[in-house]
Structure 1
Amino acid sequence: MSNTGTPSARTSQTRGPGSVSVLQTATRTRLVLGGDVDISLNGTLNDAVELAVQAGRPVDVDTAGVTFIDSAVVAMLARLAYRLPHRLRMLQPPDLVRFLLDVTQLGEIVDIVEEDPTLPDDPVTPHRPPAA
């Protein structure tokens, strides 16, 4: 049996190692997720979430570069949304992330932003949470 269809979203051609980083300005915090974001990044993602919550600023989660996301990450994003005094914004979610936001009803408690609003002009302080 041959597979002549299009490559699966789970092939190595479309997936890459996951990454989590945090960008902070005086007015916003942005978590940037990329590649395969799964349970193997839970420690790093948890540290990033704690940085975002402690900053006390509105939080954006940039998921434009996400190629895979698992339920552990979705659960952590839900916890983040409930811990913030401001509504969490999901920036440019790809179809996979959008599907999970819909299925889990997380899309009802976050704002989905189609275009990257760019960070304000104030200085950006990048943070990379310690590797777990």
Structure 2
Amino acid sequence: MRDGNSPTPDEQTQAAEVVGEPGAVQVIVGADRTRIVLSGEVDADLGAELAEATSEAEQRGLPIEVDAHHVTFMDSSGVAFLARLSIRSQHRVRLLRVPPTVRFLLEVTRIGELLDIVDDDQSAPFEPLGDGAPTA
């Protein structure tokens, strides 16, 4: 028996389809820069991981680049993360392969003015230190 507030099986299926890809943060330390790879939904659920990535990148003292190519959604937590990185880094932070939804947020919030937004990364290939395994 179903009450009037319970979703029907069709509504449950539709709700499941709306849920996006869970977000992820990886920090990869290279010989000459630190790369932070963001993917999926970058939101408040990633708060601890974003803070840890900021700390680790800051401790390395290398230039930081953020690969946002696989970001499907970003809220104010992601924007705050990028702002925090730009303020704490000794170097100007590079944001690589920015999807349109993220680019819109950067323009509206003007955080994009604090970052170098790079569509086609023509710099030297990124070479991770050690075995190339992410550190976070």
Q: Which TM-score band applies after superposition, normalised by the shorter structure?
A: 0.7 to 0.9
Counterpart of 1:11 (choices 18, 21, 24) is 18
2:85 alignment partner AA: L
Identity %: 44
Q: Deviations over 1:74-118 (max 9, x none)?
A: 112101101111100000000011001101101111000002446
Counterpart of 1:35 (choices 18, 25, 40) is 40
Question: How many residues matched?
Answer: 118
Deviation at 1:73, TM superposition (A): 1.7
TM-score (norm 2): 0.79
Unaligned runs of 5+ in 2: 1-16
Greater helix content: 2
SS in 2 for 1:63: strand
* Residue of structure 2 equivalent to 1:106: 111
Question: Using the alignment, how far apart are the partners of 1:73 and 1:122 within structure 2?
Answer: 24
2:109 is equivalent to residue 96 of structure 1: no
Question: Using the alignment, how far apart are the partners of 1:101 and 1:119 within structure 2?
Answer: 26
SS in 2 for 1:30: strand
User: RMSD in angstroms over aligned alpha carbons?
Assistant: 1.9
Q: Deviations over 1:19-68 (max 9, x none)?
A: 10011112100000000111011001110111101000000000000000
CA contact (8 A) 1:22 1:32 kept: yes
* Residue of structure 1 equivalent to 2:73: 68
2:70 is equivalent to residue 59 of structure 1: no
Question: Using the alignment, how far apart are the partners of 1:122 and 1:69 within structure 2?
Answer: 26
2:54 alignment partner AA: V
1:85 alignment partner AA: Q
Structure of higher RCO (CA pairs closer than 8 Å, 6+ residues apart): 1
CA contact (8 A) 2:38 2:67 kept: yes
Unaligned runs of 5+ in 1: 1-9
Question: Using the alignment, how far apart are the partners of 2:135 and 2:128 within structure 1?
Answer: 19
Question: Using the alignment, how far apart are the partners of 1:107 and 1:23 within structure 2?
Answer: 23
Question: Using the alignment, how far apart are the partners of 2:93 and 2:83 within structure 1?
Answer: 9
Question: Using the alignment, how far apart are the partners of 1:22 and 1:121 within structure 2?
Answer: 13
